[in-house]
Amino acid sequence: MASLLHQIQHQSVTIAAALPLDSGQMLPSVTIAYQSYGALNADRSNAVLICHALTGDQYVASDHPGTGKPGWWARMVGPGKPIDTDRFHVICANVLGSCMGTSGPATPDATTGAPLGMQFPVITITDMVRAQAMLLDHLGISRLHAVVGGSMGGMQTLAWAATYPDRLASALVIASAARHSAQNIAFHEVGRQAIMADPDWQDGQYYGSARAPTKGLAVARMAAHITYLSEEGLTEKFGRRLQARDIKSFGFDADFQIESYLRHQGLAFTDRFDANAYLYITRAMDYFDLAEPHDGRLAGAFAGAKDVRFTLVSFDTDWLYPTSESRRVVQALQSVGAAASFVELSAPFGHDSFLLDVPALDRLVAGSLRAGLA
């Protein structure tokens, strides 16, 4: 499947400038794939950057070229929608390390022409943000009306406020956190080990071969997908109902609907994502801790962001990024005098609530973006 992913053509730009990384390594140049929607106004003040989550991509409001499915946030972005493309110029870039056109492990080595694989340097959330800033420089956008993101996208949004506070007027952070918890790191490690234990992973050099670690990647996706849901939602949708049978098989086929659902989710994921990219992006999330460079004081990360307006949203059934994590961010922002509003919404969908039909979220997003608009 990796070879099929690489056949997709994306709108992208290659920037010849070097990109320094948190690891101390450097990318001599970087290619960034992106999509944009709506027109940039005369004074370039209406740009909104949307940051996608772990398995998302730049196709936020347009059909995915590989699967043909609608954009991952098409319900939120478009003409007359909460992120209104009649009013805003919306940009969404595929993150560094991913597999939809931006530089990552499948990028060819400049010397050999072979995919870098595990020779691609390990990256961080802040490295992703630096690459996005390079894209905006290339597009001639010096300041953003807002940066918006959910989950890993929310991490990028917080990193934007910490790294480039003078380049954004507002930040909308949904179902996210300023650090990855030990529990979250543990779930990611299970997924990575599933991929690397697959014999078809071939130490990451499976590109161009007839074998790819689809079984390991499917298991990684299954494990992660459980964390995106809530017990309430799983019980309501599946319960203990059997899948296409009246009695248990007393074997190891998918007896239960939830088993069949997870297997489908795992296999479908391998059609649109690269296993090595999954390793790199999950590692970037694990390293994320905005307080760490400031002696553990999260307020230190936001010392320069006093003039940024923050809106934070959590969901009451999200146990992956619980409300306590959003409250921690809000307390840090308030301690430095930043304007920060926060709301916990009720929704049965768990962490995935930010992607699903929650009308209260639509109203909050629309209201947040209207604030401060000339």
Active site residue 151: yes
> Taking CA 76 as the corner, what is the angle to CA 356 and CA 95, rounded to the nearest 5 degrees?
90
Known catalytic membership, residue 138: no
CA–CA gap between residue 29 and residue 31 (Å, rounded)? 7
Element (H, E) at 150: strand 146-150
Which of 103, 151, 176, 326 does the annotation list as catalytic?
151
**220, 344 Cβ separation under 8 angstroms:** no
Secondary structure element (H or E) that encloses residue 156, with its range: helix 152-163
Tell me if 297 sits within 8 A of 118, measured CB to CB. Answer: no
Question: Would you state the structure tokens that stand for residue 105, as one six-digit string?
Answer: 């492990």
Respond yes or no: is residue 10 known to be catalytic. Answer: no
DSSP string over 208-243: TSS---HHHHHHHHHHHHHHHS-HHHHHHHTTT-BS
Annotated catalytic residue, options 52, 318, 326, 352: 318
What are the Cα distances from residue 208, in Å, to 103, 110, 196, 267, 351?
18, 17, 18, 20, 36
Which of 52, 89, 180, 351 is flagged as catalytic?
351
Give the whole-angstrom CA distance, residue 318 versus residue 216: 26
Q: What is the DSSP string of 262-315?
A: HHHHHHHHHTT--HHHHHHHHHHHHH-BTTGGGTT-HHHHTTT-TTSEEEEEEE
Residue 53 makes CB contacts below 8 A (sequence gap 6+) with 149, 150, 151, 152, 153
For the annotated catalytic residues, the residue numbers are: 151, 318, 351
